[in-house]
Amino acid sequence: MTSVVRLLKRLTRMLATVVLVVFGTTLLVRYAPGYLSDAREMDSRYGDAARAELSAEAARSDSLAHMLETEFLGWAQGDLGISRQYEVPVQELILPRFAITVGLILRAIALAWALALCAALLSSASREAALLWHAPATLLLAVPAAAMATACLVSGVGGPVLVMTLLLAARDFKFLNRILHKAWRDPHLLQARAQGITTFRLVWIHILPGIISQLLALATLSIVSALSALVPVEVLFNVPGLGQLAWSAAMNRDLPVLLAVTIIMAIAVTLAGTVPDRTTGWQDA
C-alpha cells in the first residue's frame, strides 16, 4: 500500500510539473514581443498575402485559453503539433536530436564522475595539498558554460563533451569531497586503515556501500546541471541536439517545438529526482 501511495505521489508531481511547464511556456511565448511577426512582412512581393495570413493566425491565437486547450488536446492524442519554423511534425525534429543529446549527456556525466571521484578520493584521503584540488574546481565553477565553450572554440582545443565534463566535474567534486572526507574519518575506517587494509578494499567494501544513497542524490544534480549547460554548449558548438533546437524555437517563437523540448527536460528532471526517494524507501523498508 505504501508503494502505491509513493507511486501516486510521483505521478502527481510529474503531472503537475508538466502542466506548469505547458502553461508557463505558452504564456511566455504568446506574450513575447513579436510573437506573430513573420519575415515575409519585409518582402514586398508577399506583403498582402503575409498580412492576410498573419491576421488569420492572430484571430486563432488571440486567446491564451484556446492555445492551452489546443496544446493539451494534441498531447493527449499523441500529436505534438507542426513546427511553425520548419513546417514539419515536431516528432520528426525531436527524435533524431533526442538521441544526440542523450549521448552527449551520458558521455559527459560518465567522464565527469570518473574525474571528480578520482580527485575527491585523493583530496579527501589526505589533508595535504587540499588547495591544489579545490582551486581548479572553484575556478571552473566561476566560469559560465558559454564562456568556457567560447574559449575552446577560440583556442581550437576541446569540444562539447570536454566543456560539459569540466563543468559537471567541478560541481560533483565539491560534493564528493565533502562526503568522502567525512567517510574517511569514521571510527571504523580509521581502525581499518590502522590495521593495514588496502585503500581499494576500504573504498569498495566500506565507503561506497555507505554513501550510495548520497551518490544517487548527486546523480540527480548532475543531470540537472547537464541540462542547464545544454543550450549554450550545443548552440556554440553547433551540435544538432535538443538544446540547439530549443534555442532556435525560442528565437523563432516556435511554440510546439519549444513545448516539446521543455516538457522532455521537465520529465527528465522529475524522473531523476525520484531515484533518491526510491532508494531511501528501500533502505527504510
Mean pLDDT over the full length of the chain: 75
What is the distance between the alpha carbons of residues 212 and 222, in angstroms, rounded to a whole number? Answer: 15
Is pLDDT at 13 greater than 80 in this prediction? no
Lowest mean per-residue pLDDT among 20-24, 50-54, 275-279: 275-279
Pick 188 or 281 by higher pLDDT: 188
The mean pLDDT value for 79-92 works out to 81
Residue 253 · residue 215 · CB < 8 Å? no
SS3 content of the chain, % helix, strand, coil (to 5): 80, 0, 15
| Per-range mean pLDDT, top range of 58-72, 201-215, 269-283 | 201-215
Please name the residue ranges forming H helices in 79-211: 90-125, 130-141, 145-155, 160-184, 187-194, 199-201
Q: How many CA atoms lie within 13 A of 144 on its CB side?
A: 6
pLDDT band at 125 (very low <50, low <70, confident <90, very high): low
Answer for the pair 26, 69: CB distance below 8 angstroms, yes or no.
Answer: no
Residue 250 CA to residue 262 CA, distance in Å, equals 11
**Per-residue confidence band for 36, with pLDDT thresholds at 50, 70 and 90:** low
Give the integer Cα–Cα distance in Å for 208 and 224. 23
Considering the entire predicted model, what is its pTM? 0.73
Residue pLDDT, tens place only, 226-274: 888 899 999 999 999 999 998 988 888 787 888 888 888 888 877 776 6
